[in-house]
A and B are shown apart, each in its own frame.
Chain A
Amino acid sequence: MILDFLSAGLDVFLSPLALGLTFAGIMIGLVVGAMPGLGPLMGIVLLLPVAIGLPPVAAMGFLIAIFVGGSCGGSISAILLRIPGTPLAAATLYDGYPMAQKGRASDAIGIAITSSAVGGLIGGVALIFCAPILASFATNFAPPEYAMLAIMGLFAIVVISGGSIIKGLLAGSFGLLIATVGTDSFSTGLRFTFGSHNLLNGFHIVAVVVGLFAISEMAVQMLKRDLLKIPDVKVARPGLHTIALTLKHYGNVIRSSAIGTFFGAIPGAGGVISSFTSYAVAKAFAKPEENYGEGAEGGVVATESANNSTVGGTLVPTLSLGIPGDASSAMLLGALLILGFIPGPAMFENNPDVVGGIFMVYLASNVFLLIAGILATPLFVYVLRAPKVYLIPSILLLCSIGTFALQASVFDLQVMLVFGLIGILFRSADYPLAPVVIGMILGPILEANVRRSILISRDGYWIFLDRPVSATLVVINALLLAAMVYLTIRRLRATRRSDLAKAMSAEE
């Protein structure tokens, strides 16, 4: 079965366009990952309008490669500037920067790139073996199971991603509500369109996402006072010997990649948790003379192999169930939907070439990461020197042309701007943005399957408990809900205790 997918995918993958765009995606991913404030999600968001006009496998290759390259690129600025380009590389600071301080910046970058590529390939193996099995298991799923899975995806992201649970739920529910705008697919009635023909198909997800993430991020960047500053970065060129240096830590690579893949497959957990966990585990297993925290190669190996293997893990539920693991994979899922494919068991059955093609581009992007990363690092270091004064207008321009190019619609530009303002409001009030996107993607799946479930049910909502898999998912959702209530109460108590302590210290 797996070989069938791979051979079907090989035909569509081996085209100059797909190969070229996968390589371009890696280069772009490394650049956006290296630039503090951007990252893989921003890269996917900004280039999504470009990708959706392409053939499916080439488009997915481009976006997945940005995801892979972006997950690794953050390590470059973490090592050279002590500023992680993305939160994924935050744990790489612990040992990467001390290595650079000791004059081993090139080695640290080489190890980070090699670990990322090897970790990504291990995650890819897990993806290729697990996704078809999970999809095959899910072929028996009916609307009740899909409805519960959609709720589980949303709940898991809110619980695991940290921050305020209530704000996460509010953001997710807001996303669910945005998705209801437009023509109802059941009754064909118009919902919340206010008589505007522009809203008949609802908001274009790309316009919403570009506004929420990119425009609000540029506004946040404008608040900083280093807009003209040129970072002082020395060019580092990692050599091929860093591959051997990394492979000396093969046990660490395999263990950290397994941790990364596992956390990737759990919706909401993502690369940050996996990289910190694998760092902690690697440190626990390390000998004292390795000096973790003072420039240990093993520290860089652990974090980087974990955060890139997470990409493979996160694609497992995204492709086989249609449930995204994080905001970046939600964007990949959104791209697949726009390209006309509905992720889930049906895609594995009806479009094995697309599924196989995605497997192939994922594997290839990790190989390209190793090649591009080792050879072109000086280029990324040079990009790091670009002051924000050039970056901000360029990104705003890319946002506007990209969004306009979707359907040559000025309305989409207005939507982008409005959601940019909403994004600024949400950021300033500490509301997470990822649940909005995930809610928007899962919203139609949830609504359609809840309504279909009730239509086929003889006992109303009891249908969700009548079926064993659905009932299990109901129990998991109930547990996640209980966890949310528990975490909210615990955080409220902690806030009260800190308020009390502050009041007492003020009195003294």
Chain B
Amino acid sequence: MASSRRLNFIALGFLLAVIVTVFWQIETDLKEQGIASGGPYDNAASYPRIIAGLIGCLLAVQFVMELVRKTDVPQRGAQQIADVQPADLRRAGMMLAVFAVYLTGLTTVGYHLATAPMIFAIMWICGMRNVAKLAIASIAIATGFAFVFEVFLNVVLPLGIWNIFVPW
């Protein structure tokens, strides 16, 4: 499993990438727009520059603390994620993958065609194997939410390329 230290370094790397992007944008895009210098009214770069600088300093301190820390014991919240078995991690990863595919295809396929399979798949990943129960539950949940949002809240859910809608 990913160790506490490795997870910390990944988070530090992510934040480093964020501040590098901020400075890169200030030096390129914001300068081109003419908003990277001047007084408080015109200088839109000064505040994000200060915040990114602050993050940079904090990252350096946190990096040193990680290096100094001898043990690699997961901390409070990290424990619930760091102590998991590969099968648990696979389950969570599959759920995220299914959800990402659902969100990507939602506008193309439409809510009414895409939602029940997504719920079915996630319940299957959770370990449920009774196909009849899975099918009934996924259709019921998808239809129930659609009814509440479309009828009570007047939300037009994605119709997809086939313009599928339910005339409630």
With both chains docked as a complex, state the minimum distance between the C-beta of A175 and any C-beta of chain B, in angstroms: 10
A244 within 8 A of B: no
B54 touches A390 (CB 8 A): no
A250 / chain B contacts, CB cutoff of 8 Å? none
Contact of A53 among B40, B71, B141, B153 (CB under 8 A): B153
Contact with A along B113-138 (1 / 0, CB 8 A): 00100110011011110000000011
Across the interface, A189 reaches (CB within 8 A) one of B30, B91, B96, namely B30
- Nearest chain B CB to A58's CB is how many angstroms away? 13
Interface residues of B in 82-105 (CB under 8 A from A): 82, 84, 88-89, 91-92, 95-96, 99-100, 102-103
Hey, which chain B residues are within 8 Å of A341, CB to CB?
none
Taking the closest CB of chain A, its distance from the CB of B14, in whole angstroms, is 6
Residue of A nearest to B138 (CB): A393
A458 / chain B contacts, CB cutoff of 8 Å: none
> In the complex the two chains form, is B58's CB within 8 Å of A427's CB?
no
Q: Are A427 and B81 in contact (CB under 8 A)?
A: yes
For the complex, is A487 an interface residue (Cβ under 8 Å from B)?
no
Q: With a CB–CB cut-off of 8 A, which chain A residues contact B76?
A: 163, 430
Interface flag for A401 (CB, 8 Å): yes
CB contacts (< 8 Å) of B8 on chain A: these are 429-430
A454 contacts the other chain (CB 8 A): yes
> Once the chains are docked, how many angstroms separate the CA of A414 from the CA of B39?
36
Which residues of A lie under 8 Å from residue B29 when comparing CB positions? 190, 192
Nearest CB of A to B2, in Å: 7
Given A428-B7, A429-B8 in contact, is the A177-B95 Cβ separation under 8 Å?
no
A223 lies within 8 A of B92 (CB):
yes
Closest chain B residue to A218 by CB distance? B95
Please measure, in the bound complex, the distance between the C-alpha atom of A487 and the C-alpha atom of B118, giving whole angstroms. 46
Most buried by A among B8, B44, B78, B92: B44
Is A189 within 8 A of B44, CB to CB?
yes
The docked-state distance in angstroms from the alpha carbon of A400 to that of B142 is 12
Q: Which residues of chain A in 211-228 are interfacial with respect to chain B, using CB atoms and an 8 Å cutoff?
A: 215, 218-220, 222-225, 227-228
The answer to whether residues A428 and B81 also contact, given A180-B51, A191-B44, A218-B95 and a CB cut-off of 8 A, is: yes
Choose one: B33, B81, B102, B118; the contact of A220 (CB below 8 Å).
B81
Q: Name B58's contact: one of A53, A166, A502 (CB within 8 Å).
A: A166
A219–B92 alpha-carbon span in the complex (Å): 5
B139 at the interface (CB under 8 A from A): no
A461 to B89, CA, bound (A): 50
A379 interface contact, C-beta 8 A: no
A401 near B51 with CB under 8 A, answer no
Complex CA gap A225/B91 in Å reads 10
Q: Tell whether B109 is near chain A: CB-to-CB under 8 Å.
A: no
Complex alpha-carbon distance, A86 and B51, angstroms: 33
Closest Cβ neighbor of A450 among chain B residues? B47
Interchain CB contact under 8 A, A184 and B44: yes
* B contact residues, total (Cβ < 8 Å): 82
A492 to B65, Cβ gap below 8 A?
A: yes
Given the contacts A190-B33, A227-B127, A397-B145, A170 and B41 also touching, CB distance less than 8 Å: no
Known contacts being A417-B100, A429-B10, is A393 close to B123, with CB within 8 Å? yes
Q: A173-B55, A417-B100, A450-B47 are in contact. Are A430 and B119 (CB under 8 A)?
A: no
Q: Which of B15, B51, B70, B78 contacts A430 (CB 8 A)?
A: B78
Which size bracket describes the interface of A in this complex? 35 or more
Given contacts A166-B58, A499-B70, contact A431 B11 (CB under 8 A): yes
B160 to chain A, nearest CB (A): 12
> B40 touching A186 by the CB < 8 A rule?
yes
Q: Decide: A503 near B52, CB < 8 A? Known: A186-B40, A223-B91.
A: no
Contact A396 B122 (CB under 8 A): yes
A393 and B81 contact, CB distance less than 8 A: no
- Which residue from A174, A389, A451, A495 sits with its C-beta under 8 Å from B69? A495
Q: What residues of B have a CB within 8 angstroms of the CB of A408 in the complex? A: 156
B30 with A191: CB separation less than 8 A: yes
A449 to B25, CA, bound (A): 24
Separation in Å of the B139 CB from the closest CB of chain A?
Answer: 12
B108 to chain A, nearest CB (A): 10
Question: How far does the Cβ of A406 sit from chain B's closest Cβ, in whole Å?
Answer: 10
Chain A's closest residue to B25 (CB) is A192
Q: Determine if A200 is an interface residue (Cβ-Cβ < 8 Å).
A: no
CA distance A228 to B30 in the complex (A): 52
Interface hub of A429, A451, A455 (most chain B Cβ within 10 A): A429
Once A428-B81, A430-B75 are accepted as A-B contacts, the answer to whether A404 and B11 lie under 8 Å apart by CB is: no
Binding site for B on A (CB under 8 A): 50, 53, 163-164, 166-167, 169-170, 173-174, 176-177, 180, 184, 186-187, 189-192, 215, 218-220, 222-225, 227-228, 388-390, 392-394, 396-398, 400-401, 404-405, 408, 410, 413-414, 416-417, 420-422, 424-431, 447, 450-452, 454-455, 492, 495-496, 498-499, 502-503
A-B contact pairs, 8 of them (CB 8 A): A166-B61, A189-B44, A191-B44, A410-B103, A414-B103, A427-B77, A428-B82, A503-B70
Knowing that A390-B141, A394-B145 touch, tell me 4 more A-B residue pairs with CB under 8 angstroms.
Answer: A223-B89, A390-B137, A430-B74, A450-B40
Q: List chain B positions with a Cβ less than 8 A from chain A.
A: 2, 4, 7-8, 10-11, 14-15, 18-19, 21-22, 25, 29-30, 33-35, 39-45, 47-48, 51-52, 54-55, 58-59, 61-62, 65, 68-71, 74-78, 80-82, 84, 88-89, 91-92, 95-96, 99-100, 102-103, 106-107, 111, 115, 118-119, 122-123, 125-128, 137-138, 141-142, 145, 149, 153, 155-158
